[in-house]
Amino acid sequence: MPLMAQKYLSSPRRALTAPELLDAPDEWITRSFAWVEDMLARRPQYGFSGSRLSQPEEAVHRAALIRLDDILHIESAPTKPVIHEWYKRRMLGAARKASSPPSGNRIIKLYDHGWHVQTAGSKFAIDLVGGAPRIVGFQMTEEALDLFVAASDALFISHFHSDHADPAVARKFLAAGKPVVAPADVFRQEPELQKQLTVPERSTTKVAKFGQLSVIAYPGHQGKDVINNNYLFTTPEGWTLLHTGDQSNDEDFAWIDAIHRTHKVHVFLPNCWTPQPLRFVAGVKPSLILPGHENEMAHTVPHREDWTQTFTRFEGAEGVMLPLCWGEEVRYQL
């Protein structure tokens, strides 16, 4: 029988991953979370210097992410309180970590395609949201969110979709007197909030300054019509990071293919499902690839991208590729 016709598949998109459960007992989920936490704790942080990880990624790290896929792809996972509580604990731990000054350059992976970046001279959040859109229980605590706001000088939003742009988060940043940088159409359903955004010029060359942080908002798209900024950040220390948002438009390869000719990108933060990941990597030529957007819990199972497929989709990419769990961090030494 052809693989795509197997009865265990909920969608051809999941042909190369183990089939999901419709439900699972809390006991199995709780025991699995405990094991995952123990495996992740074996490497509380990863280091990167030059062109290599200072500590090799362990096989059990990948095994832990794959077990998380098993949990988060349960059909009923978005509504399970035991999963909500694990998420809240994970994000509170990440927020407390972000609140402590790093020694050097640090990036913390948050939910979906969110990130928190800290250096001696800059600290900012990218696509930070409280949790899964429209799922009340799957949200970080107010304490965690307040800590992230306090630990950031600005919030950058790639595009208007609710798994990247959270109005509650934006209001907290604005109330703290911190800019929210986004395309002009973000929060278009809330004109008063939309008017408070800082809208950068979309360009392959124009540099905007936010304190000591330099930013280029590359003119990307999700599909043909969704405006999606690809932000290239250069910190005061000369550390460069490129975040893609939900980039997925082949016409944009006209400038993507040439990024490496004008910029040395140290850290590449692509959406894990971008249609041509290896071509994107070839255009950027980063030292370190940290994919994002795995397990957006408001998506249906076929579109709830998993870490398992991230390993295979970026196989053979130039540079070191390291998928991370929500709350994991990398210290980068220039």
The DSSP bridge pattern shows strands 180-181 and 267-269 to be: unpaired
Q: Check residue 328 and give its pLDDT.
A: 97
The candidate with the shortest Cα–Cα distance to 279, out of 299, 308, 250, is: 250
| Token pair in block for residue 334 | 């220039």
Describe the crossing of helices 59-72 and 26-41 by its angle, rounded to 10 degrees. Answer: 150
Place of tokens 């509650």: 168
CA distance 213 to 132: 29
Q: Check residue 14 and give its pLDDT.
A: 79
Q: Check residue 198 and give its pLDDT.
A: 98
CA distance 180 to 170: 6
Q: Count the Cβ atoms, other than its own, within 10 Å of residue 86.
A: 22
Q: Count the Cβ atoms, other than its own, within 10 Å of residue 118.
A: 25
Tens of pLDDT along 92-127?
A: 999 999 999 888 999 999 999 999 999 999 999 999
Domains in the chain with CATH codes: 19-333 (3.60.15.10)
Q: Which residues of the chain have pLDDT under 70?
A: 1-5
CA distance 334 to 104: 9
CA distance 124 to 216: 15
CA distance 274 to 155: 23
Q: Check residue 22 and give its pLDDT.
A: 86
Tens of pLDDT along 153-207?
A: 999 999 999 999 999 999 999 999 999 999 999 999 999 999 999 999 999 999 9
Q: Check residue 1 and give its pLDDT.
A: 43
Q: Could you tell me which residues are beta bridge partners of residue 105? A: 332
Distances (CA, A) of 65 to 35, 54, 192, 239, 326: 11, 20, 40, 28, 10
